[in-house]
């Protein structure tokens, strides 16, 4: 069965620090990969997605993620975080079933001003 692991439950950073959130998945076939963000009190929004092609994908608000097939990883990065990036971040994988996503448990990011 597919699964998604997010390594960090809660990350606390100061503004301007660099961010990397880990995501590993287990699935042997072709996958589509997603990062979603949930700002406090808001609905989940898509940050970025990977379907094929360049394994380094850029999303909104300066976020990027790198798909490393050999490591089954899709880590999220941002060079310099802002207080407004405080949110919960979810990695998700789709493989096999049409449209179904398997979500990780989420990583809560707190950015100190």
Partner 1 sequence: DVKVTQSSRYLVKRTGEKVFLECVQDMDHENMFWYRQDPGLGLRLIYFSYDVKMKEKGDIPEGYSVSREKKERFSLILESASTNQTSMYLCASSFQYQPQHFGDGTRLSIL
- Residues contributing to the site for partner 1 (CB under 8 A): 6, 9, 32, 34, 36, 42-46, 49, 51, 90, 94, 98-101, 103-106
Of 83, 85, 84, which Cα lies nearest the Cα of 112?
83
Of 33, 101, 105, which Cα lies nearest the Cα of 71?
33
Question: Which residue number, 70 or 98, has a Cβ lying nearer to partner 1?
Answer: 98
What is the distance between the alpha carbons of residues 5 and 42, in angstroms, rounded to a whole number? 23
Question: Which residue number, 19 or 34, has a Cβ lying nearer to partner 1?
Answer: 34
Question: Which residue number, 42 or 70, has a Cβ lying nearer to partner 1?
Answer: 42
Number of alpha carbons in the 13 Å side-chain half-sphere of residue 88: 12
Please state the closest distance from residue 27 (CB atom) to partner 1, in A: 14
């Amino acid at each position: 069965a597919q699964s998604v692991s997010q390594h960090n439950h809660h990350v606390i950073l100061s503004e301007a620090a660099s961010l990397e959130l880990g995501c590993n998945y287990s699935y042997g076939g072709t996958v589509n990969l997603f990062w979603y963000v949930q700002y406090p009190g808001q609905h989940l929004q898509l940050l970025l997605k990977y379907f094929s092609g360049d394994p380094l994908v850029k999303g909104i608000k300066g976020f990027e993620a790198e798909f490393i097939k050999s490591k089954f990883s899709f880590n999220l990065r941002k060079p310099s975080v802002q207080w407004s990036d405080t949110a919960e971040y979810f990695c998700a994988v789709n493989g096999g079933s049409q449209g179904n996503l398997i979500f990780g448990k989420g990583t809560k990011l707190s950015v100190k001003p």
